[in-house]
């Protein structure tokens, strides 16, 4: 007697070719990098980083031993003495033109008419040897209000001798200080944040310049008519 055998059903997913193709058509393909290839790629990146570090380490001593030249920047050529002589025609006095032997570098020199303040002034700015700054202001029409403005309302804290003259020292207590001198018919103010030894050097040169110039004289008033 012959046994009847029933057909074995196909396993899931191994049916007709049409079913498998339809199910995988929309799935994204994710590339898989073999472990050996990934290891080789990482080794290449690490090798590049090490090579770069070695190159920097090799050239760094050379760079440090050969620094770039320092630039002093732009230095304006200010003829303080020449501008002073030209300003004397309108100032009524010969403005101070201190000579410090190029130790103090002027970066401006000008005559200000004093339209706003009513006090015409001679002004020169100096860069000091220690890379600080001192401003010189000179006038023959000083008044108490103007003086306070120029010295930032700083109180008088003492005196300092420079050029054989006693300068009044004013200090704000915040680094800014001023030296004030009434001499030969004009008032001179030196102001800035420089150290006092630099103030003294410039003040000495200012006095020497003023001594070489004619003193400012005030014409006497005409006698009253009888």
Q: Do 86 and 181 sit in the same domain of this protein?
A: yes
Of 25, 42, 70, the domain-final residue: 70
Q: Is residue 17 part of a domain?
A: no
Q: Do 175 and 65 sit in the same domain of this protein?
A: no
- Give tens-digit pLDDT for 158-192: 999 999 999 999 999 999 999 999 999 999 999 99
Q: Do 50 and 160 sit in the same domain of this protein?
A: no
Question: Residue 97 is part of which domain span?
Answer: 80-211
Check which CATH number belongs to the domain holding 191 and give it: 3.30.200.100
Separation between Cα atoms, residue 87 and residue 94, nearest integer Å:
7
H or E stretch at 187: strand 186-192
Which residues make Cβ contacts (< 8 Å) with residue 90, sequence separation at least 6? 111, 120
Separation between Cα atoms, residue 184 and residue 106, nearest integer Å:
24
**How is the beta sheet containing 186-192 ordered, strand by strand?**
105-112, 121-127, 133-139, 186-192, 177-183, 165-171, 156-162
Q: What is the mean pLDDT of residues 107-124?
A: 96
Of 52, 70, 88, the domain-final residue: 70
Q: Is residue 91 part of a domain?
A: yes
Q: Do 104 and 51 sit in the same domain of this protein?
A: no
Q: Do 52 and 144 sit in the same domain of this protein?
A: no
- Give tens-digit pLDDT for 1-32: 455 555 555 544 444 444 444 445 566 666 66
Q: pTM for the complete prediction?
A: 0.66
Of 14, 48, 70, the domain-final residue: 70
> What percentage of residues in the chain have a pLDDT greater than 90?
58
Separation between Cα atoms, residue 8 and residue 17, nearest integer Å:
18
Q: Do 200 and 176 sit in the same domain of this protein?
A: yes
Q: Do 56 and 131 sit in the same domain of this protein?
A: no
Burial class of 73 by CB neighbour count within 10 A (0 to 12, 13 to 18, 19+): exposed
What is the model's pLDDT at position 98? 97
Phi, psi of 158 (to 5 degrees): 155, -160
162 near 207, Cβ under 8 Å? Answer: yes
Beta strands in 53-152 (DSSP E): 105-112, 121-127, 133-139
Q: Do 109 and 136 sit in the same domain of this protein?
A: yes
Confidence of residue 134 (pLDDT cuts 50, 70, 90): very high
Q: What's the Cα-to-Cα distance from 218 to each of 4, 93, 107, 122, 207, rounded to whole Å?
A: 146, 11, 32, 19, 20
Q: Do 61 and 134 sit in the same domain of this protein?
A: no
Residue-wise DSSP of 132-148: -EEEEEEESS--HHHHH
Which residues make Cβ contacts (< 8 Å) with residue 213, sequence separation at least 6? 93, 94, 96, 184
Number of compact structural domains in the chain: 2
Q: Is residue 196 part of a domain?
A: yes
Q: Is residue 144 part of a domain?
A: yes
Q: Do 52 and 162 sit in the same domain of this protein?
A: no
Q: Is residue 114 part of a domain?
A: yes
Tell me how many degrees the CA angle 96-158-80 measures, rounded to the nearest 5.
Answer: 15
Q: Is residue 48 part of a domain?
A: yes
Q: Do 59 and 140 sit in the same domain of this protein?
A: no
Q: Do 63 and 84 sit in the same domain of this protein?
A: no
């Amino acid at each position: 007697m012959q046994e009847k055998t029933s057909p074995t059903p196909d396993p899931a997913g191994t049916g007709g070719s049409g079913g498998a193709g339809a199910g995988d058509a929309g799935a994204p393909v994710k590339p898989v990098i073999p472990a050996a290839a990934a290891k080789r790629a990482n080794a290449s990146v690490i090798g590049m980083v090490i090579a770069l570090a070695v190159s920097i380490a090799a050239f760094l001593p050379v760079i440090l031993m050969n620094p770039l030249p320092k630039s002093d920047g732009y230095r304006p050529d200010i003829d303080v003495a020449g501008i002073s002589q030209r300003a004397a025609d309108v100032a009524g006095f010969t403005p101070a033109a201190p000579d410090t032997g190029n130790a103090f570098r002027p970066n401006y020199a000008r005559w200000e008419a004093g339209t706003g303040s009513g006090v015409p002034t001679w002004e020169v700015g100096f860069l000091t040897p220690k890379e600080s700054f001192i401003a010189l202001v000179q006038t023959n029409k000083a008044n108490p209000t103007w003086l306070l403005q120029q010295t930032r309302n700083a109180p008088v804290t003492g005196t300092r001798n420079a050029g054989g003259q006693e300068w009044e020292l004013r200090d704000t207590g915040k680094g800014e200080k001023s030296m004030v001198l009434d001499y030969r018919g004009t008032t001179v103010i030196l102001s800035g944040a420089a150290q006092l030894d630099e103030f003294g050097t410039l003040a000495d040169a200012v006095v020497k310049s003023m001594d070489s110039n004619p003193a400012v004289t005030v014409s006497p008033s005409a006698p009253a008519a009888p």
